[in-house]
Chain A
Amino acid sequence: MTDYVMEAKHVFKTYRIKGEKKGDVKVVDAVKDVSLQIRKGDIKLIFGPSGSGKSTFLRCMAMLDIPDSGEIWLGDECLTKPGVDLNKARARIGFVFQHIYLFKHLTAIGNVELALRQVLKMPKEDARKRAMAALEEVKVTDCINKYPAQLSGGQAQRVGIARAIARQPDIILLDEPTSALDPELTGEVIDTLRDLAHEGTTMLIVSHEMPFAQEVAEEMIFYDEGHIIETGPPSLFFNAPNTDRAKQFMTRIINRTTR
């Protein structure tokens, strides 16, 4: 019986981007020998320069991208073994996307209900109750019958979070949940995440939001060029990081946010 909710062991992921000319292929090493353990109730935040591969790593954790090598464990189950039912596994993981990706043809409540009915096979009544509860938690109860195109960015992302938590998953993975939103709208999403954190939800977040990190994260992980460079509590990074790269990055960030 493992202690960890999720664990990544020596994960590698490279991908190829086709260039403009024929035969031009750019090889990107997004994840180079990354290992990470997450216990129940942990709130960890991955941060670092853009393009460093953080999102790719997060998607590998959820098996939305398949790692080239290494192991991903969800509790006692190794997801990277062949023959594993990935759909069942993903049902136990909640994922929140940078670009939200709500189901455009369904209303807000429809978005939350869909997986409850099709994956958990809940009957209509129960699914609706559970969906309403999730939407109440993210405080989006006044527009449940609206379509995604009619919602503001902040409302849509909160519905996205409701969609992720409705199945009561073991862990929630969030990929830059506020990066695509207008600055005024990030507040509502951050409030929601703060509430979830206080309730003891296990979360692994990729984010730039430094104030949020300082307040809510228990552990911060600095990620650059495919590697985990340094880990530690927020106080470490905001006062005196150990590595030069982390120091450089934090200086730049802090200069930008304190004006």
Chain B
Amino acid sequence: MTYWLTDPRTWTWILQGLSATVAITLFGVCLGLLLGTLLAIGDLYGGKVSKGIISVYVEFFRGSPLFVQVFIAVYAVPALFNIRIDHNFLAFLVFGLNSAGYQKGYVKGAMQTVLDDQMTAGLSVGMSKWQTLRHVILPQAYRIVIPAWTNEFCSLTKSSSVLAYVGISFFASGISDLTSVGIAVSYQQFVILPVWIVIGLIYLAWITGFSKIMDTIYEKKKIPGIDLEIQS
């Protein structure tokens, strides 16, 4: 029954699937952080129109499942706008857009923890609002946001399993992510339970390992006095 485990093709698939999952998830949380920062700043300093657009954006991406959003991005958007875009690119993009919807809240919260006092201090030495945001507010906010960002990473990795069902593939073998590897192996080799246990453990190892690394980085980068205020 362990023949599938020693089959090199299985491991090729696993490597492909894992790298796809890692790539799309990391891309997603990084784009999410950048875009989320822009949305947070827009929400704090923008006019009524920007705030309105940002609310709609956030409500859409936070209020509907990523599953449905991927379908929309990959199928509905090209059809509606009558353009041909690479499906894989759209998949990467929608992960980033989705994550930004959540991260806007985390970044805004982190910024508001330091905002009033530190902005006043920055202005008092002659810096402009933007200089203060860039040199004083955001450096502190980014340190505060690391735990939430790590959490978002875990969340997104788990959600990435929907890629197996959207009809995308990143490799000639048809693999789209780690979950699709499980599906492929269980179809081809007629083993089911052990396959899913192994796939599950690989996910667990990756997520737990990455979280541990991020926690260590957070400890190292922590500046005494800057901490997330414990919310009850």
Query: Direct A–B touching in the complex (beta carbon < 8 Å)?
Result: yes
Taking beta carbons and an 8 Å cutoff, which residues of A are in contact with B? 62, 64, 87-88, 90-93, 95, 97, 99, 101-105, 114-115, 118-119, 147-150, 163-164, 167
Do B126 and A90 have beta carbons less than 8 Å apart? yes
- A118 surroundings in chain B (CB, below 8 A): 127, 131, 135
Do B121 and A148 have beta carbons less than 8 Å apart? no
- B127 surroundings in chain A (CB, below 8 A): 87, 114-115, 118-119
Residue of A nearest to B128 (CB): A87
Residue of B nearest to A114 (CB): B135
Task: Identify 12 residue pairs between A and B in the complex whose beta-carbon atoms are under 8 Å apart, listed by A's number.
Answer: A87-B126, A87-B127, A90-B125, A95-B125, A101-B120, A102-B121, A103-B118, A104-B226, A119-B131, A148-B225, A149-B225, A167-B126
Interface string of B119-140 (1 = CB under 8 A from A): 0111111111001000110011
A101 touches which of B118, B126, B223 (Cβ 8 Å) = B118
- In the complex, whether B143 has a CB less than 8 A from a CB of chain A is yes
Q: Smallest CB–CB gap between B123 and chain A, Å?
A: 6
- B135 surroundings in chain A (CB, below 8 A): 114, 118
Do A119 and B125 have beta carbons less than 8 Å apart? yes
Do A64 and B124 have beta carbons less than 8 Å apart? yes
Interface string of B17-57 (1 = CB under 8 A from A): 00000000000000000000000000000000000000000
- In the complex, whether B224 has a CB less than 8 A from a CB of chain A is yes
Q: Smallest CB–CB gap between A120 and chain B, Å?
A: 8
B121 touches which of A103, A149, A167 (Cβ 8 Å) = A103
Take A101-B117, A104-B114, A114-B135 as given contacts and tell me if A149 and B224 are in contact as well, using a CB distance cutoff of 8 Å. yes
Q: Smallest CB–CB gap between B118 and chain A, Å?
A: 7
Q: Smallest CB–CB gap between B133 and chain A, Å?
A: 12
Could you say which of A62, A115, A147 has the most chain B C-beta atoms within 10 Å of its C-beta? A115
Q: Smallest CB–CB gap between B26 and chain A, Å?
A: 25
Take A105-B136, A114-B135 as given contacts and tell me if A163 and B125 are in contact as well, using a CB distance cutoff of 8 Å. yes
Identify the 4 closest CB pairs spanning chains A and B, nearest first.
Answer: A149-B225, A91-B126, A115-B125, A101-B121
Do B125 and A104 have beta carbons less than 8 Å apart? no
Do A97 and B128 have beta carbons less than 8 Å apart? no
In the complex, A114→B226 CA distance in Å?
A: 18
Take A104-B114, A105-B136 as given contacts and tell me if A167 and B123 are in contact as well, using a CB distance cutoff of 8 Å. no
A95 touches which of B114, B124, B136 (Cβ 8 Å) = B124
In the complex, A86→B30 CA distance in Å?
A: 35
Q: Smallest CB–CB gap between A170 and chain B, Å?
A: 12
Could you say which of B124, B127, B225 has the most chain A C-beta atoms within 10 Å of its C-beta? B124
Residue of B nearest to A116 (CB): B125
In the complex, A103→B224 CA distance in Å?
A: 12
Do A90 and B123 have beta carbons less than 8 Å apart? yes
Take A101-B120, A103-B136, A105-B139 as given contacts and tell me if A167 and B125 are in contact as well, using a CB distance cutoff of 8 Å. yes
Take A118-B131, A118-B135 as given contacts and tell me if A104 and B124 are in contact as well, using a CB distance cutoff of 8 Å. no
- B128 surroundings in chain A (CB, below 8 A): 87
Do B223 and A62 have beta carbons less than 8 Å apart? no
